[in-house]
Amino acid sequence: MTDDEPSDWRTAGERASDIAQAMALREQARKGGLRFEVYLPPSLAEWLLDFVERGVFTDPSEAVFVILGEHKDLEPHADLRKENLRRSLDAAINDPRAPIPGEEVMASIAKGMAEPRPEPAVWRQRKTV
C-alpha cells in the first residue's frame, strides 16, 4: 500500500492502533527483523504453492520475502506501477469471456460471505537442528 492509496476500510481507532503497534515494533524490527502471520485467499495461496512445488522457492516465507523485496525495489518507479495498472486494466477490458452482470456478482459475494469458510491450510516450518 502506498500513501496515495485509500485505506478507509478500517476505523480510525483500528488505524491508530496499527500505527502505534508499528511504531512500538520499529526499533526491535530494525535490529532483528519482523515475523508475522499472513492469510492468503485460495487463488493466491495456490499460485504461491505452485512456486514451492516447482522449486522456485523453498517455502511460502521465502516467496513473501523475495516478492516484497521486488515490490520495495519498484516502489520509487511510479511510471512502472502506472504502466502495470494500465496493462492490468487493458487485460480486464479485453477479456474474451462474457461479462458478468453486477447483480450476479453482488449475489455471489453475498452468498460467499454467508457461507462458512473452510479452515485454511497452515504451512509448518521444518525444525532445524
Q: Is residue 102 part of a domain?
A: no
pLDDT band at 1 (very low <50, low <70, confident <90, very high): very low
Query: With 60 as the cut, is the pLDDT of residue 5 above it?
Result: no
Q: Is residue 89 part of a domain?
A: yes
- The helix (run of H) or strand (run of E) holding residue 83 is helix 78-93
Query: With 70 as the cut, is the pLDDT of residue 119 above it?
Result: yes
Query: With 80 as the cut, is the pLDDT of residue 63 above it?
Result: yes
59 lies in which domain range? Answer: 12-93
Q: Is residue 22 part of a domain?
A: yes
* pLDDT per residue as tens digits for the range 9-61: 788 999 999 999 999 999 999 999 998 888 999 999 999 999 999 999 999 99
Domains held by the chain: number? 1
* pLDDT per residue as tens digits for the range 92-118: 999 999 988 999 999 998 998 898 988
Separation of CA 43 from chain center: 11
Query: With 50 as the cut, is the pLDDT of residue 82 above it?
Result: yes
Half-sphere exposure of 78 (CA within 13 A, CB side): 4
pTM above 0.85, yes or no: no
Q: CA–CA separation, 22 vs 29, rounded Å? A: 9
Q: Is residue 38 part of a domain?
A: yes
Q: Is residue 69 part of a domain?
A: yes
What confidence score (pLDDT) does residue 68 get? 92
Q: Is residue 105 part of a domain?
A: no
Question: How many other CB atoms sit within 10 Å of the CB of residue 65?
Answer: 13
Nearest by Cα to 51 from 29, 37, 66:
66
Q: CA–CA separation, 113 vs 85, rounded Å? A: 28
3-state helix, strand, coil in the chain (%, to 5): 60, 0, 40
Q: Is residue 29 part of a domain?
A: yes
What confidence score (pLDDT) does residue 4 get? 53
Q: Is residue 112 part of a domain?
A: no
What confidence score (pLDDT) does residue 6 get? 52
